[in-house]
Amino acid sequence: MTDYTNAPELKASILGKTTDYAQQYDASLLYPIPRKLNRDQISVDEADLPFLGEDTWTGYELSWLNAKGKPQVAVATFIFPCQSSHIVESKSFKLYLNSFNQTRFTDQKTVLDTLTKDLSAVTHSEVEVVLYKANDHDCIAFTSMPGQCIDDLDIEVEHYSPIENMLKQKSSDIVSETLHSHLLKSNCLITSQPDWATIIIEYTGVAVCHESLLRYLISFRSHNEFHEQCVERIYCELQRTFAFEKLAVYARYTRRGGLDINPYRSNEHNKTPYAIRTNRQ
C-alpha cells in the first residue's frame, strides 16, 4: 500500500462510494487528483520530470442526443500529457461521460469541443480528444505486441509487492531490446479492484536479466496504485537501477466501466509511438 492513501485529495473522491447518475450534462462531476501525490513518493520533481509521455484513455460507451433527441454513439480517445498537474479520477470520468447520455447537442463537433474544454480545464493541460463513429472498425485495431514476450520464463515467485533490489543486470553488454509481458496486475488505490495490463519495455543500455524483470513486474500483483502511478514507478525504478541511454515503458490496461487507460513514459518521445490494442481490451 502506498503511503499517500489517506491524503485529503483521495478521501474527498467518489471512488468506493455510492453515487447517483446525473440525468443531464454536468462538468462538475470530474474530480482531479494531483500527480504530485505519487511523484513525491518516488522522488520525482514535477519542475524537472525525468520522463516525457502521455496517458491515452479509450472511451467505448460515449453517447448523447442530437438536436432532435435521437441517440448518437461514438468511441473516443482522450490523450492527457504527463506534464499535466492532475489526472482525472476514473469513476468521476465515467459519471461525467454518462451525463451526456440524455443531453442534446447540436452536432458531434459540439460534443468534441465540450469534452476537450472540460478535460483540459480539470487537468490544467491541453487534452486531445478524437471521436470515432461506431462503424469506424479500424480506428483502434487489434495488434500484436512488439518485441519478445518474457512470460514463458520458468521462474520462482515469492514477492507480490515491490521490494528493493529486485532488478538485476544480465551483463555489461550494451543492447537494444523490446520486451513485453501480459502478467502485470495492480490494484486500485482506493477500492483495491484488480487492474490488468500488458506492459511493453523498450530500452538501450546494459542487458537486463529477463527473469528478474518478470519477477519485478509480477510483484505489483498486490500493490495498490493508479495506472499512471504504477507506470511511472516502474519507469523510475528501471532508470535508477540501470541508467539506460533510452527507455520507454508503455502499459495497456484492460477496460473497466467502458474506459481503458494506457500510460506511456519515455526519455525520448513525448507522443506514444505505438498503435496497439491487445485482445484483452
Residue 228 is labelled as binding a ligand: yes
Q: Any binding-site annotation on 90?
A: yes
Asked whether the beta carbons of 270 and 53 are under 8 A apart, the reply is yes
Distance, in Å, from the CA atom of 279 to the CA atom of 231, rounded to the nearest integer, reads 20
pLDDT, one tens digit per residue, over 156-169 is 999 999 999 999 99
Q: What is the pLDDT of residues 44-100, one digit of tens each?
A: 999 999 999 999 999 999 999 999 999 999 999 999 999 999 999 999 999 999 999
Place of cell 461525467: 96
Active-site residue (options: 195, 230, 236, 260) = 195
Residue 1 pLDDT class (50, 70, 90 cuts): very low
The active-site residue out of 188, 230, 236, 260 is: 188
CA distance 214 to 151: 7
- Identify whether 138 is a catalytic site residue: no
94 annotated to a ligand binding site: no
Q: Yes or no: is domain 8-132 CATH 3.30.1130.10?
A: yes
Q: Among the CATH numbers 3.30.1130.10, 2.60.120.260, 3.30.230.70, 3.40.50.280, which is that of 148-266?
A: 3.30.1130.10
Domain with CATH 3.30.1130.10 in the chain: 8-132, 148-266
Burial of 8 (0-12, 13-18, 19+ CB in 10 A): exposed
pLDDT in tens, 222-272: 999 999 999 999 999 999 999 999 999 999 999 999 999 999 999 999 999
Is 59 annotated among the ligand-binding residues?
A: no
Share the mean pLDDT of the chain.
93
CA 172 to chain centre: 32
Among the ranges given (16-20, 113-117, 257-261), the one the predictor scored with the smallest mean pLDDT: 16-20
Integer Cα distance of 160 and 165 in angstroms: 14
Q: Is 188 a catalytic residue?
A: yes
147: left (phi over 0), alpha (psi -120 to 50) or beta: left
User: What gap in Å lies between CA 177 and CA 73, rounded to an integer?
Assistant: 40
Model pLDDT, residue 137: 80
Measured between alpha carbons, how far is 220 from 46 in angstroms, rounded to an integer? 24
Is 227 among the annotated ligand-binding positions? yes
Say yes or no to pLDDT of 5 above 80.
no
Q: Residue 269 burial (CB < 10 Å; 0-12/13-18/19+)?
A: middle
DSSP state of 209: -
Answer yes or no: is 246 a known binding residue: no
Question: Taking the model in full, what pTM does it have?
Answer: 0.93
